[in-house]
Amino acid sequence: MLSWSVAMGYGAMGGLVVEAITTWNRLSAWREARHAALKKKRQRRPRISEFIDPAADGAVAVTRAALGCAAAALLHTQISGFYAAVA
């Protein structure tokens, strides 16, 4: 069993892992769109701002971390290790 503060930290990390995966998917989509534009020899390549919005994505990252903290705080007596807390 983890203490509530440790569980909350790991829960926040879990929320941020989800956001990192989402950001990776958006970056991959941007890269693919740029490659497609190069292949078609178009002049305009998509900008990263078409795939990532720092203000909105930052707000979602904070929210996911907070939700991870809250879930871990509520369930800390049932969490037995790092992987369970992050999940």
21-77 pLDDT, tens digit each: 999 999 999 999 999 999 888 778 999 999 999 999 999 999 999 999 998 888 888
What is the residue-wise DSSP string for 72-83? Answer: HHHHTTT--SHH
Helices marked H in the chain: 4-39, 54-75, 82-86
Is the pLDDT at 15 greater than 80? The verdict is: yes
Global pTM reads: 0.80
Cβ-Cβ contacts under 8 Å for 38 (sequence gap 6 or more):
45
